[in-house]
Amino acid sequence: MKKRKQILSVLLAAAMVTTMLGGCGNAQGTSGKSSTASSTSKSESTQNAVVESTVESNDDGTEDSVRISEETIEITLAGPASVTTNEWNESVQFAEYEKRLGIKINATAYDSEAWSSKLTLMLASDELPDILAGLTATTREDVYKYGQEGYLLDLSQYLDVMPNLTRIMEEYPEYARHITMENGAIYGISPFSVRIESWNLQDVYMSQTWLDNVGMDAPETLDELYEVLKAFKEQDANGNGDTDDEIPMLYSAYSCFPILWAYGIYSTDGKLHEMVDEDGNYMVMNVTENYRDYLRYIHKLYKEGLINEDAFVISSDEKDQLINNGKTGYVGNVTSIFLGLDNEGDYSKQKWFAVTGFTGTEYNSESVVVERERVGANFRVLVSADTKYPEEIAKLIDYLFTVEGAISASNGYEGLTFDFNDIEGYPVVDHTNYIGDYESSEAYRTRKATSRGAFNFYSINEGTIYDMLQNIDTDKLMEGECYKVAGANATKQLAWRKAVQKGVQFKKPLPSLSYGDDGAERATLYTDIVNYCATANVQFITGERDLDKDWDTYLEELEKMGLQRYIEIQQNAYDRLMGN
Amino acid sequence: MKTLKKRLVTSWQLYVLVLPAVIYIALFAYKPMYGILIAFKNFSIRKGVWGSAWVGFDNFKRLFNSYWFPVIMKNTLTLSALSLVLGFPTPIILALLLNEVKSIKFKNAVQTVSYAPHFISTVVMCGMLTLFLSPSTGVINKIIELFGGEAIFFLQEANLFKWVYELSNVWQGVGWSSIIYFAALSSVDKGLLEAAEIDGATRMQRIWHINLPEIVPTIVTMFILKCGQILSIGYEKVYLLQTDANISGSEIISTYVYKVGLEQADFSFSTATGLFNTVVNCVLLITANQLSKKVTDSGLF
Amino acid sequence: MKTIRKQISGDKFFQLMVTIILTVFFIIELYPMLYVVFCSISNPDAVASGEVLLWPVGITLQGYQKVFQYRDLWIGYGNTIFYTLAGTALNLAITLPCAYAMSRKELMGRNQLMLFFMITMYVSGGLIPTYLNVKSFGLLDSRWCMVILGAISVYNMIVARTFFANSIPDEIIEAARIDGCNDFRIFGKIILPLSKAITGVLVLYYGTGHWNAYFDAMIYLDDRKKFPLQLFLREILIQSKFAEEALTDSTVSAEELAYLAELSKNADLMKYCIIIVSTVPLMFIYPKLQKFFEKGVMIGSVKG
């Protein structure tokens, strides 16, 4: 037994080296320029398959993953349910883990709204399962607290059996910073995406059809945007014969981002605009002249009816309806755009294209995009400090950072739950042959092929449309199969390529922070300030408060609320994080 | 002394009748009540209630020192006061009116239908309200426009919030709340009513002098109990109807605590706020009880 | 003679006014439920855009189909009926005797007892101590937990006490005592038969409470076979939130988002069906309970 373990560890070491090499290849692919396209993912995935088959190969020629435990061990897992409620244990993914890895997972899923109470009670009665997983909504702050109190396993002790995680942490310091707490421990795993850059673009879209109908080009400056929106309003932009039913811009936090960025406010929050400048100074932009000028601009749009009048009371259902019925030409982050994927008519009719930051203010001469975070703020996998199998679980987590592991968590296993389907020469996972009674491929994937939400924290390009999007020629991007399957993502890729050509500046949003002893004080300060800023934002835009007369009182009130103290707490937390 | 003992002995059976309730309350309400200490501690799950460090009134200070504290107190009291003025008398009026209906079928139909909205979940109710009050498509604004008015942005105006909240509460709850008054009215002496009719009393007089006095004890009890809930307005409905625009009129104690809790799960803060509510509620309850003893000569204790 | 005629016409006018007011009220109160029914059989897009108002638009039974496809629904129904019946029975068995005794002046120290009860209306130990307490009784994940928790509501007890104190004349009790009845007999043989109205109210309050309860089940139950109906219905409703949450989730692909959006659309439709499915049984029971309110006549005859 002992000898077999030794052999296994040698094999593991071999696998480690090779996967690391493979990993470097992947990383180059994702961070390099799209035009290089050195290797297609097809060859990459076969490379990986070869890597694994050198480790162990069955007589029938099928390839096996690295077995983690020789004798099958059983570990318990709990988490909030998502889509599926009681089907985690019935997934092909978990069944294969038992077969391939020697780990049988016994999962309990809870009502996602009850989860935070459930977690608290599990902690209070000291009855944690081996693994907490899923969309646990556990913040960095909570994880640090629970970890310090001794509830959670410190994974940093096991990094020597976690080569893939180690590699990713070396390659992406922002990820390492996020999961490594200020005391050096790693108490859990956050989602992480190594997808193509265009994935990082915020979802803000404008309709090319509307632009064509009013005979204008895509706006680049704020003045041009104003002219375009005005044209949308005055003309029959949606081409239905009625010149009065157009809502030029559907107000939302997201549709305002490109305007906000133009004023040098690099935030991706709708209410409190926080950012850190080049020198590492934390700032709240809501009290700056930048923000005041931004509000002037939005107020002008609102006053002239270029933004929907019910902007601040409209429900998300109503918004979806307006978009689906072709009533608006400029929108941000709404599900109905993606619904368009199924509903070819509407989607292609509007020809949405992704929008990047506008220019044309004294604050900013270049177009800016504040990217979506690659690092997910909340933690997805936490391990109990009392588990009997710390090393095995560490290896399991590391397995999920391999290509095979990541795909197993997102799609299952080739030949069991999916085949690779060739789209424009790129292999894309296709479940069609396996869905059986399930109503759609997604239903099958999320309910049967995988235990959705439990382990899909590492997002990669391999086997997805992103691989194709990264490498396909620009002129093929918006047509044929590619556009059909990639939809909004294709337009984002196009926008990203254009942005790179134009030399758009890409900026990162404020990373998530943790506060330690200041946490309680910060929570009330934050609530006070955000509440006030949210209301003031509306009042300045609608004109209920005047940007000239009421601005000073606004600033004074914010000071009274303890803004300075809040900034101090945030700055300290940021410094602590970066000092790591 | 002897009489006291004698009274205790003769009424021992009454104590037996109370006993199951006392045991339940002792085991399931008093036994875990030590949790209230969390309000005075910096609570850590690991250390438990007893092991966590004392912090005195720090958690209370955070609430009182908040910039929004005066606002949320004012809003909470406004909503409660409105609910006393609107929400309290309407079920009584409904019960008295329904009691005058001769047709049993009509009476039963109105009763059953008036309970029904009680079962519409808060989420759906708020969804309905948002739709009905929508400035562009909402039915209420369409009616206003029909009569030549201008669309009102109900959920954008901070000072309209209380009306939206309370009128919809009455709409949803009046039937359900009137049940207890129906039941109380059922014990009115029918003979007395007939006698009054023969004596030439009008319907209004009969309601005023016979039916109403019969349900006064119930009204008093309900009123005192209601006074004990003044600060405890649930967060869900208010939170669902809240928009960025109406926060200054819609932020109440429970929504505020909920929001702080979203930033950081903080048992100490929410327990402290709960305890503050309790103290204020109890003061109001005792005042109402004393007042009622003076005016109607009956109280809860 | 003249005054009597005047009085009759006055009464007629009064009756007319009452009928008009209550008819208007009837329509206002009928509307929300009717609206829910319309929405439950309408196209969800039409509901979202506010087209559904006075009749269903784009009729579809898909919502009900999907709700009934949910295989756990019937397990939930069975459990809820059990919890409601057993729970309400226990509630009555504890609340009625307690409320009666508390209404009697002979009960020494009843003000102190009242305080003992009322404190628990305002002060509670909070989630964690309460959970640990339930655990200490071995009630976790047990059906009995759902029956025993909330065995008495102090609020309802006070309401019942008020009824006993004011609707049951002392003379009846005095008379019974002289006849040699002890307190148990008085309560069982005389008081209970006279208390149909308040018993009806309590059944309504407690029963509906049990029927709609989900929080305790959510916290204390793990085994899905024991879940009440409302917990399963909530699982359906929660699906409407996934899409919104997924918008900011880095691991969700566009296809998945589309699927979640579809689920959310279905859940939007089902949320109306769910209200109907869970409320209809109650609507059948009310008219039966309402009859109890008429039975109060008896007291009058006893008094006379």
Identify the H or E element spanning A521.
helix A519-542
Query: First-to-last CA distance in chain C?
Result: 30
Residue A492 has pLDDT above 60, yes or no: yes
Query: Is B179 inside a domain boundary?
Result: yes
Residue A99 has pLDDT above 70, yes or no: yes
Residues with Cβ within 8 Å of A534's Cβ and at least 6 positions away in sequence, in order, are A271, B244, B247
- The closest alpha carbon to C245, from A573, B146, A83, belongs to A83
pLDDT of residue A41: 37
pLDDT of residue A284: 95
- Residue A105, beta-bridge partner list: A75
- By the 8 A CB rule, do A96 and A83 touch? no
Opening angle at CA C176, ends C172 and C180, nearest 5: 165
Q: Which amino acid does the sequence have at C218?
A: M
pLDDT of residue B7: 66
CA distance C83 to C63: 27
Taking each helix axis as running N to C, give the angle between helix A551-560 and helix A563-578, from 0 to 180 degrees, rounded to the nearest 10. Answer: 70
Written as six digits, the tokens of C232 are 């399963």
CA distance B285 to B276: 14
Higher per-residue pLDDT: A6 or A155: A155
Q: Which amino acid does the sequence have at C69?
A: Q
- By the 8 A CB rule, do A398 and A23 touch? no
Mean pLDDT value across residues A307-318:
88
Written as six digits, the tokens of B293 are 């003893």
B134 has a chain A CB within 8 A of its CB: yes
Query: Is B111 inside a domain boundary?
Result: yes
Q: Which residue of chain C is at minimal alpha-carbon distance from B215?
A: C166
Mean pLDDT value across residues B75-88:
93
Q: How confident is the model at residue A16 (pLDDT cuts 50, 70, 90)?
A: very low
- Least trusted range by pLDDT, from A331-345, A522-536, A552-566, C25-39: A331-345
Q: Count residue pairs from B and C with Cβ separation < 8 A.
A: 268
pLDDT of residue B44: 87
Written as six digits, the tokens of C138 are 């071995």
- Least trusted range by pLDDT, from A13-22, A148-157, B71-80: A13-22
Written as six digits, the tokens of A439 are 């109503």
% of chain A with per-residue pLDDT over 90? 43
User: Strands A419-423 and A426-430: what pairing?
Assistant: antiparallel
Query: Is B198 inside a domain boundary?
Result: yes
Q: How confident is the model at residue A339 (pLDDT cuts 50, 70, 90)?
A: low
The full 3-state SS of A259-275, as one line of letters, equals: HHHHCCCCCCCCCCCEE
Residue A44 has pLDDT above 70, yes or no: no
CA distances from C203 to B225, C85, C174, C286, C290 (A): 20, 10, 29, 10, 11
Q: Count residue pairs from A and B with Cβ separation < 8 A.
A: 98
Please answer yes or no on whether C187 and B7 come within 8 Å at the CB atom: no
Written as six digits, the tokens of B187 are 């014990």
Residue C176 has pLDDT above 90, yes or no: no
Averaged confidence pLDDT in chain B = 89
Residue A46 has pLDDT above 50, yes or no: no
A432 has a chain C CB within 8 A of its CB: no
Residue B211 has pLDDT above 50, yes or no: yes
Structurally, chain B folds into a number of domains equal to 1
Q: How confident is the model at residue A312 (pLDDT cuts 50, 70, 90)?
A: very high
Cross-chain CB nearest to B189 (options C104, C107, C303): C303
Query: Is B3 inside a domain boundary?
Result: no
Please answer yes or no on whether C158 and B221 come within 8 Å at the CB atom: yes
User: Model ipTM?
Assistant: 0.89
CA distance A103 to A101: 5
Opening angle at CA C72, ends C69 and C77, nearest 5: 105
Mean pLDDT value across residues A435-451:
86
Residue A356 has pLDDT above 80, yes or no: yes
User: Strands A192-193 and A458-459: what pairing?
Assistant: parallel
A176 has a chain B CB within 8 A of its CB: no
Please answer yes or no on whether C238 and A112 come within 8 Å at the CB atom: yes
pLDDT of residue B275: 92
CA distance C258 to chain B (A): 23
Query: Is B203 inside a domain boundary?
Result: yes
A523 has a chain B CB within 8 A of its CB: yes
Q: Write out the residue range of the structural domain in which residue B258 sits.
A: 43-119+165-296
CA distances from A331 to A265, A322, A509, A541, B25 (A): 20, 10, 21, 18, 56
> In this predicted model, what pLDDT tens digit does every residue of A382-418 receive, in sequence order?
999 999 999 999 999 999 999 999 999 989 999 999 9
Mean pLDDT value across residues A550-561:
95
CA distance C243 to C260: 5
> In this predicted model, what pLDDT tens digit does every residue of C204-237 receive, in sequence order?
999 999 999 988 998 999 888 899 999 888 888 8
> In this predicted model, what pLDDT tens digit does every residue of A497-555 receive, in sequence order?
888 888 888 888 898 888 888 888 999 999 999 999 999 999 999 999 999 999 999 99
Domain ranges (residues) in chain C:
1-60, 63-296
Which fold does the domain C63-296 belong to in CATH? MetI-like fold (1.10.3720)
Residues with Cβ within 8 Å of B205's Cβ and at least 6 positions away in sequence, in order, are B196
CA distance C106 to chain A (A): 45
CB contact residues (below 8 A), chain B span 18-57, against chain A = 42, 44-46, 48
Q: Which residue of chain B is at minimal alpha-carbon distance from A116?
A: B265
Mean pLDDT value across residues B230-259:
91
Higher per-residue pLDDT: C71 or C96: C96
Q: How confident is the model at residue B97 (pLDDT cuts 50, 70, 90)?
A: very high
A561 CB neighbours in chain B (<8 A) are: 67
Q: Which residue of chain B is at minimal alpha-carbon distance from C139?
A: B28
Cross-chain CB nearest to C224 (options A82, A86, A441): A86
Please answer yes or no on whether B264 and A141 come within 8 Å at the CB atom: yes
C223 has a chain A CB within 8 A of its CB: no
A309 has a chain C CB within 8 A of its CB: no
Mutate to test the interface with B, among A125, A140, A310 (most CBs of B within 10 A): A310
Please answer yes or no on whether C116 and B128 come within 8 Å at the CB atom: no
pLDDT of residue A365: 82
- The closest alpha carbon to A136, from A98, A110, A157, belongs to A110
Residues with Cβ within 8 Å of A112's Cβ and at least 6 positions away in sequence, in order, are A80, A81, A82, A135, C238, C241
Q: How confident is the model at residue A464 (pLDDT cuts 50, 70, 90)?
A: confident
- By the 8 A CB rule, do A85 and A107 touch? no
Q: Is the pTM of this model over 0.90?
A: no
- Least trusted range by pLDDT, from A69-73, B22-26, C98-102: A69-73
Averaged confidence pLDDT in chain A = 83
- The closest alpha carbon to A488, from A356, A372, A370, A354, belongs to A354
Residue B181 has pLDDT above 60, yes or no: yes
CB contact residues (below 8 A), chain C span 119-158, against chain B = 120-130, 132-134, 137, 149, 151-152, 154-155, 157-158
Query: Is B51 inside a domain boundary?
Result: yes
C184 CB neighbours in chain B (<8 A) are: 13, 16-17
* CA B70, chain centre distance (Å): 22
CA distance C38 to chain A (A): 18
Return the CATH number at B247: 1.10.3720.10
Please answer yes or no on whether C250 and A191 come within 8 Å at the CB atom: yes
The full 3-state SS of B107-170, as one line of letters, equals: HHHHHHHHHHHHHCCHHHHHHHHHHHHCCCCCHHHHHHHHCCCCCCCCCCCHHHHHHHHHHHHH
Q: For residue C132, how many other CB atoms are within 10 A of its CB?
A: 18
Instruction: For tokens 């204390």, name the residue.
Output: C220
Q: How confident is the model at residue A33 (pLDDT cuts 50, 70, 90)?
A: very low
CA distance C274 to A565: 48
Subunits adjacent to chain B (3 or more Cβ pairs under 8 Å):
A, C
Cross-chain CB nearest to C254 (options A124, A321, A487): A487
User: Strands A103-110 and A73-80: what pairing?
Assistant: parallel
Residue A371 has pLDDT above 70, yes or no: yes
CA distance A563 to A555: 10
Q: How confident is the model at residue A47 (pLDDT cuts 50, 70, 90)?
A: very low
Residues with Cβ within 8 Å of A359's Cβ and at least 6 positions away in sequence, in order, are A220, A221, A222, A262, A365, A366, A367
Query: Is B31 inside a domain boundary?
Result: no
The full 3-state SS of chain C, as one line of letters, equals: CHHHHHHHHHHHHHHHHHHHHHHHHHHHHHHHHHHHHHHHCCCHHHHHCCCCCCCCCCCCCHHHHHHHHCCCHHHHHHHHHHHHHHHHHHHHHHHHHHHHHHHCCCCCCHHHHHHHHHHHHHCCCCHHHHHHHHHHCCCCCCHHHHHHCCCCCHHHHHHHHHHHHHHCCHHHHHHHHHCCCCHHHHHHHHHHHHCHHHHHHHHHHHHHHHHHCCHHHHHHCCCHHHCCHHHHHHHHHHHHHHHHHHCCCCCCCHHHHHHHHHHHHHHHHHHHHHHHHHHHHHHHHHHHHHHHHHCCHHHHHHHC
Written as six digits, the tokens of A556 are 């004074």
- Least trusted range by pLDDT, from A13-27, A397-411, B57-71, C81-95: A13-27
Q: Which residues of A539-562 are buried (b: 16+ CB within 10 A; e: fewer)?
A: bbbbeebeeeeebeebeeebeebb
Residues with Cβ within 8 Å of A443's Cβ and at least 6 positions away in sequence, in order, are A435, C259
Q: How confident is the model at residue B210 (pLDDT cuts 50, 70, 90)?
A: confident
Residues in chain A: 580
- The closest alpha carbon to B94, from B107, B77, B78, belongs to B107
CA distances from B70 to A326, B66, B73, B248, B252 (A): 45, 8, 5, 11, 10
- By the 8 A CB rule, do A519 and A460 touch? no
pLDDT of residue A292: 95
Please answer yes or no on whether A522 and B156 come within 8 Å at the CB atom: no
Q: How confident is the model at residue A336 (pLDDT cuts 50, 70, 90)?
A: low
Residues with Cβ within 8 Å of B269's Cβ and at least 6 positions away in sequence, in order, are A520, A523, A524, B59, B62, B63, B257, B260, B261
% of chain B with per-residue pLDDT over 70? 97
CA distance B13 to A484: 80
pLDDT of residue B206: 86
Mutate to test the interface with C, among B104, B120, B121, B199 (most CBs of C within 10 A): B121
C231 has a chain A CB within 8 A of its CB: yes
CA distances from B144 to A542, A573, B130, B152, B191 (A): 22, 52, 16, 8, 49
Written as six digits, the tokens of C12 are 């007629």
CA distance C13 to A298: 59
Please answer yes or no on whether B110 and C286 come within 8 Å at the CB atom: no
pLDDT of residue A266: 93
pLDDT of residue A9: 44
- By the 8 A CB rule, do C32 and B116 touch? yes
Q: For residue B167, how many other CB atoms are within 10 A of its CB?
A: 14
A498 has a chain B CB within 8 A of its CB: no
Residue B76 has pLDDT above 50, yes or no: yes
Residue C2 has pLDDT above 50, yes or no: yes
Q: Which residues of A256-285 are buried (b: 16+ CB within 10 A; e: fewer)?
A: bbbbbbbbbbbbbebbbbbbbeeeeebbbb
> In this predicted model, what pLDDT tens digit does every residue of C78-96 receive, in sequence order?
999 999 999 999 999 999 9
C208 CB neighbours in chain B (<8 A) are: 118
Q: How confident is the model at residue C99 (pLDDT cuts 50, 70, 90)?
A: very high
Q: Which amino acid does the sequence have at A445?
A: R
C216 has a chain A CB within 8 A of its CB: no
Mean pLDDT value across residues A203-231:
92
pLDDT of residue A475: 84
Residue A111 has pLDDT above 90, yes or no: no
